[in-house]
Amino acid sequence: MLLSKKSLFALFEQLFVGKNLFAFRVPSRSFAFLRVLRGENCLSAVCFFLSPFSSTSTMNQHTSTQNMTTETVHPLLHSFIQALSGARRAIRNFLLTFGLLALGIFLLSPGILEAVQRHLGGTLYFFSVAGPFLAHAKLALFAAFFLLAPWFMALFWRLLGKTFKMEKRQLRSFLFCTCFLFYSGALFCYFITLPFGIQFLLGFGSEELKPVISVGRCINFVTLFLLGFAGVFELPVFMVFLVRVKIFTLDFYRKNRRYAVLAIAILAAMLTPTPDVVNMALMGGPLYLLYEAGIAATVLLQKKMVNTPPA
């Protein structure tokens, strides 16, 4: 007779955890994560998973964790867990669509790789039997995420909106700005920073030093920098969000400009493919402008909050 899904989870618990749930800490915590996925006792499971590792009084910790109520949990954590529990179906649909889209793009990845290679210049090689397959798989996964980024961001802001009790109109504004800046950062990197950086690095070649670039390393290099630039271009959105939820203030951003410039210079040196001043300026300049744009957007937000009468 076939076992139901619930019976399989119970069997897994007996096999890997046993009666003494705290005999082995890692498997028990892994099973707590499975409880979250199954949706049973989600709050207690997550709190147990986040509880400190300790070899003493483990049974007392287990008892106190099981009896934990919503009053003993931070309100934001409780709201986030509830939002995450309510978004399980949406997350499963996203992961399923992501896998199917990546599989479809994998069939078209040779053409995509050829376009990337033609844009960046040079010839790519592979040095292992599985090299081409892994390169196409990584490219397909990145392309699928790049196309589904608005869906992922919608899920992300949905969770934050329910956690911090934000209005739908504000969430739509944050979602639009996040998507716009994400693709702007990726396109800026692909068409400006990467070609300049790669040409600069390959310029050190000579008759004795010929470039032999691995296709796998090239895909890793390109995708990581695209994601890095797309991520740091989100700076103004999260600056406004942190002020909106009252974690930071406008005065904090203004008073710490010098530290922001230092952090931007360090971040530009880490993200740009070359250490020269030109490429660092191509990254640091827009980042500082984005920082100032975040301050300007925060000023507009505060003026709007002052002019808006309380409900």
pLDDT of 33 reads 44
Q: What is the pTM of this model?
A: 0.73
What mean pLDDT do residues 44-64 have?
45
Q: Is the pLDDT of residue 29 over 60?
A: no
Which of the pair, 87 or 12, is modelled with greater confidence? 87
Domain boundaries, the chain: 5-73, 86-307
φ, ψ of residue 116 in degrees (nearest 5): -65, -45
On whether the CB atoms of residues 159 and 80 are closer than 8 A, the answer is yes
What is the rounded distance in angstroms from the CA atom of residue 308 to the CA atom of residue 311?
A: 9
- Confidence at residue 260, expressed as pLDDT on a 0 to 100 scale: 92
Please write the tens of the pLDDT for every residue from 123-143. 888 988 999 999 999 999 999
Of residues 71 and 108, more confidently modeled = 108
In angstroms, the CA 300 to CA 292 distance is 13
How much is the pLDDT for 10?
Answer: 56
18, pLDDT greater than 70: no
Q: Beta strands of the chain (E only): which ranges?
A: 124-125, 213-214
Average pLDDT over the chain reads 78
Contact predicate 297/239, CB 8 Å: yes
Q: Which tokens sit at 41? A: 């006792």
Residue 94 has which token pair? 């996203």
Summarised one tens digit per residue, pLDDT across range 248-259 is: 999 999 999 999
**What separation in angstroms does the CA of 160 have from each of 154, 163, 169, 210, 301?**
10, 5, 14, 50, 18
- Contacts for 310 with CB less than 8 Å, ≥ 6 apart: none
SS3 272: coil
Higher confidence at residue 123 or residue 36? Answer: 123
